[in-house]
Amino acid sequence: MSKTLQLMIIMVLLMLLLVVAMMGGLIESDRWKIKHLSVAASYERMTPEQLRLTIAKTPERSFFRLDAEQVKKNIESMAWVRSAHVVKQWPDTLNVTVKEHQAVAVWNDEGLLNQLGNVFFVDKGVQSHALPRLFGKDEHAADVWADFNRFNQLLQPVGHEIGEAHVNARGDWKLVLRNGLVLVLGTEQHEARILRLAETWDALLAQSVKLPERVDLRYSNGYVVLWREQEEMMERKVEEGELFNHG
């Protein structure tokens, strides 16, 4: 190796050492602190003060040393936060975007479902009794929420929304409408069975002065209706053609 090449290598190494030393000084310098916080959030379930306190859990304020990913994790640990995006903007600003959970249902009487069908947990004292109650396996929560919404649409002719939906490990569905009517759907053909009831609902009501107590839709050509007649429960199977030809 020639002396000229050796000298060039030494000079490059010295320059690298100088840059590292300068950067070390810059990183440690108090002159490069985060001074401004820019937040985009709706503040529906959390307050600005709660968010600021959570961000302050990361004590480092140097622009170079502040860990934006750790700030993000701290914010996303808040009960009502669905996601957070944290970016440092040169030379002294921290930009934070926060999206909150929108609770759409109570899940298994323990947690809540958000608008995407994801399960999250908050203090039970803040759960709303007006929300529908869904029961099922956590890994199927998004599918249960999607089916719940579809079934609600199909049940519009009945005139009552679903208050509870129960799905067991075998996939059996049971719905409880807000007026107390229980609908047993079984494991298959859910939409077809609901449509059968919706299309014959008016004819069914014409047969009794009271609303049915329970409707078992697990039949290929009709359904079984259970309703209260004075103090006695009366059960009757309704054939599909009987109601379609009513009137």
Q: Inform me whether the pLDDT recorded for 3 exceeds 90.
A: no
Residue 191 is predicted with a pLDDT of 96
Decide: pTM greater than 0.85: no
Which long-range CB contacts under 8 A does 208-216 form with residues at least 24 apart? 211/179, 211/181, 212/181, 213/180, 213/181, 213/182, 214/181, 214/182, 214/183, 214/184, 215/181, 215/182, 215/183, 215/184, 216/184
When the pLDDT of each residue in the chain is averaged and rounded to a whole number, the result is 86
The predicted-structure confidence for 119-166, as pLDDT tens digits, reads as follows: 999 987 666 778 999 999 999 999 999 999 999 999 999 999 999 999
The predicted-structure confidence for 25-74, as pLDDT tens digits, reads as follows: 555 556 789 999 999 999 999 999 999 999 999 888 888 889 999 999 99
Q: Which domains does the chain have, with CATH numbers?
A: 31-100 (3.10.20.310), 105-244 (3.40.50.11690)
Q: Inform me whether the pLDDT recorded for 247 exceeds 60.
A: no
Question: Could you check whether the bond before residue 157 is cis, i.e. omega within 30 degrees of 0?
Answer: no
Percent of the chain with pLDDT over 90: 66
pLDDT top residue among 2 and 182: 182
Q: Inform me whether the pLDDT recorded for 233 exceeds 50.
A: no
